[in-house]
Chain A
């Protein structure tokens, strides 16, 4: 469905020093620089996949998304989406995709959202029956029926994002590109958007490619993540594989009815980072030793609570991005 090979994008821009002197100097002489935004990346995405595109600011993920959606011409490399070269922006291609940008609206602000939906009906050549069926279904899923006749500028940020998603999906695209769709939303609105996207993927089989700095978005939606940094694809695989690779140890927290003595779990193989805080013990354990260690924990004393978890994805990403430039 999506295939990229050696995909590269460079930008050329001129640099200008601050102040009047810099401005005057730039009148007669300009320094042009070329920046490599995406550097020979390659991947394939199949029908119905939900893929998270992750990376720090300026890593190249939004540039990649813009090339996939046809906004940018690649500098070199090959890119095929739904059998098309996106940059040609053929009608048959554009009617099968949708792009939602968290910080750019596709709705008219001064009129109700229904006006924008009717515009999409004409743009995508939808029959009245098809249009009404899709509007009904999406309005139900997003719970926005009463907002369709309200001026867009009068809606809240969360409501607007739901209407943006509705406008993007009313023609039933096969691929949905999402650039920071939950940016600025409160926790309730975020959860609603996530569950809606999961439902769309399940019901319609829509392929979703999403960039987000919110790891909860990624954990809730993506079975696969691609990490881009310095324009290079650093990781491409399942989210739990990323967790296993980056943080191969499980986090364990055990709470007891009575205080434990010193030297808890000393000498137990595969255990590290043991911290005792009153009645609670925190530690990290190798995955293949987890069973033995849990058994040892039950024998330490009267156990009240036990929690075993993978490392937080947020922490993993922070570690990865702090080590920018080092290939994983």
Chain B
């Protein structure tokens, strides 16, 4: 059995066990997802009100509506909370019990991410369905399967990018006593630059070049733009090229830093 097959089988088993453990807390997923959808729906109402009162924006009502309806799903689907847990395992030495077993050290965190997202989706999708139905007259629904397939790929790559950035930050815990400030900084910066708070299309025109090429755009905004916006074929190609490039870059950096970190690991505790 090769390494990939073995790791996939381990991942499947871990994900199943994680689902078994987390499904105990089903009520909390509903509350989590209500909170998750609250901000985009509030933003949607504010921007629609602004447009109704004659605000001149570079995007129309259909873009704003589609953007915020999809935003709750995409931010959840591409989110990662692994950095704090990985850093804690490094700092407290609990990584040790995984290090002596023949499987990737990150599989447990991947399984945790996948299983939580699956359970959150079960709670979130009906809520988004209701919001979609309420605003159905203003939604952009691309014809055909193509845009939705590209949307799915962009969400997947966005999720990989966020997770990889998390590993990169967490790996610094091999040298730093506390990386929580870095984790928090990443969350704050990403929430603005990913388009999770305000659509990047509404950013000042002088910031346009930077905003369009920075990595966080590809974690949230880019997948939503594929459905809500009118990205041309060239813009799509450039977008996917940049997204893939950032995934590879973050992956290589995370791998190098992680490998160096393992050499510095002190395996504290008995």
Contact = CB atoms under 8 A, between A and B. Distances in A.
B102 A62 contact: no
Contacts of A66: 96, 267
B24 A110 contact: yes
Interface in A104-147: 104-106, 108, 110-111, 115, 118-120, 122-125
Interface residues of B, number: 28
Interface stretch (A88-96, A188-196, A272-280): A88-96
B3 A125 contact: no
Interface string A231-256: 00000000000000000000000000
Contacts of B9: 122
Contact of B6 (A101, A103, A111, A123): A123
A198 to B, nearest CB: 23
Contact of B101 (A87, A94, A108): A94
Contact of B269 (A69, A104, A119, A120): A104
Interface residues of A, number: 35
B170 to A, nearest CB: 18
Contact of B13 (A91, A118, A124): A118
Interface stretch (A70-78, A261-269, A310-318): A70-78
A71 B99 contact: yes
B17 A122 contact: no
Contacts, number: 77
Contacts of B3: 91
A122 B10 contact: yes
Interface string B98-139: 011111000000000000000000000000000000000000
Nearest to A103: B270
B210 to A, nearest CB: 33
A94 B270 contact: no
Nearest to B263: A73
Interface string B40-64: 0000000000000000000000000
Contacts of B94: 104
B265 interface: yes
Given A89-B99, A123-B103, A102 B270 contact: yes
A72 B265 CA distance: 7
A123 B101 contact: yes
Interface of A: 11, 62, 66, 69-73, 87, 89, 91, 94-95, 97-99, 101-106, 108, 110-111, 115, 118-120, 122-125, 179-180
23 contacts: A11-B266, A66-B96, A69-B100, A71-B99, A72-B266, A72-B267, A73-B265, A87-B263, A89-B99, A91-B3, A91-B102, A99-B97, A101-B97, A101-B270, A103-B269, A104-B269, A105-B97, A106-B97, A110-B21, A119-B13, A119-B17, A122-B13, A123-B10
